[in-house]
Amino acid sequence: MKSTSIHPTQSNAFAEIIFLFGPTGVGKTELLLDLDPKKFSVINADSIQVYRYLDIGSAKASLEVRHSIPHHLIDIKDPWEQFSVGEFIAYADQAVASIHQEGKIPVISGGTAYYFKHFLYGLSEAPPSDEGVRLAVAQRIEQNGRAWAYEYLKQIDPISAQRIHPMDMYRVSRALEVYEKSKRPLSSFSLPDTPRNGMHPLVIGLMRESDQLRTRLALRIKQMFDQGLEDEIRSLLRMGAQMSWPGLQGIGYREFFQAMEHGEWSRSIIADQIERNSRLYAKRQMTFFKSFAQVQWMNADEKGEILTAIQRYLHPDCMSLQ
């Protein structure tokens, strides 16, 4: 599937759409299994799960789960390809239209906060990508290093630097490109403040107590190694994987490549780094998600209440599940 063939739909028939988000490890996939596949389809909003071959480290929904309830926007890119938020909006728009045509309800589920924000409000007014400027920025990063790029971003655009992970070179580069082209920080460009296409989604945020989330993250990381995460990394290396691949910027992958840069491959050290980075990421996710308006925050274990909230959104006059 080529991104060049994808264009945002102009349909304003976003009659019913559900956002389901929360920090990594909170239990989004578990909840999706409780939805009726005859009524709902899922649109993935995780920036790593869009990539083929990145299954275990991304905690991608298993084939069994995807057979239980249809999923869109999984395995649509190769890990060496870029996948921008603009492409996400275009793909998701088409998926929403397709799901509505089937008479079903789209559920956008994941943990990539800016996917949700830009899907709801659209892209910022920042200038479009310029290939010449982008290549010039890439050359400077190659000459001076990734650490230099992030430090430079902190100088010219501290707000964007706070939002972007130091290892996310795609978005660091994009912020530097915008500054070089416009002489304005990326964070200075405003987002639209009204939903696109007349959307009125049900926005559900899943949460857990911090200790419980930490325990779940530790268990999940252990399960990833037990399921063969190291073998997945070795398979990627046989494909010629490089640390610069966009798909390998995600937690669960970059830690291996950072370790190899230092000539180390210790399972325990890498696992500790993945767990630490996952905890920090979960905190950043919650900070971002809490900036959203009209979110119904619900405990991930309260599945009955969550399903009731969905029922009330779809059928306002019906106050109980059938």
Using CA atoms, how far apart are residues 176 and 160, in angstroms rounded to an integer? Answer: 10
Q: What is the CATH number of domain 3-123+191-314?
A: 3.40.50.300
Position 57 scores a pLDDT of 96
Report the pLDDT value the prediction gives residue 14, as an integer from 0 to 100: 53
pLDDT of residue 5: 41
Tokens 């180390």, located at residue: 264
**What residues does each domain of the chain span?**
3-123+191-314, 131-188
- Tell me the C-alpha distance between 270 and 279, whole Å: 14
pLDDT value, residue 8: 44
Q: How distant is the alpha carbon of residue 77 from its chain centre?
A: 14
Radius of gyration of the chain (CA): 20
Query: Tens-digit pLDDT profile for the chain (322 aa)?
Result: 333 344 444 444 457 999 999 999 999 999 999 999 999 999 999 999 999 999 999 999 999 999 999 999 999 999 999 898 999 999 999 999 999 999 999 999 999 998 999 999 998 888 888 889 989 998 999 899 889 999 999 999 999 998 887 878 888 999 999 999 999 999 898 878 788 888 999 999 999 999 999 999 999 999 999 999 999 999 999 999 998 899 999 999 999 998 988 777 889 999 999 999 999 999 989 988 888 888 999 999 999 999 999 999 998 765 544 4
Structure tokens at 319: 């106050």
Lookup: tokens for 13: 């028939």
Q: Is residue 106 packed enough to be buried (19+ CB in 10 Å), middle (13-18) or exposed (0-12)?
A: buried
Angle at 212 between CA 207 and CA 215, to 5 degrees: 125
pLDDT of residue 154: 94
d(CA 15, CA 197): 10
For residues 168 and 233, give the distance between their C-alpha atoms in angstroms, rounded to a whole number.
Answer: 19
Q: How far, in Å, CA of 302 to CA of 107, rounded?
A: 18
Q: The CATH number of 131-188 is which of 3.30.465.10, 1.10.1740.10, 1.10.20.140, 3.50.50.60?
A: 1.10.20.140
pLDDT of residue 318: 58
What residues contact 55, with CB distance under 8 A and at least 6 apart?
A: 232
Q: How far apart are the C-alpha atoms of 265 and 225, rounded to whole Å? A: 13
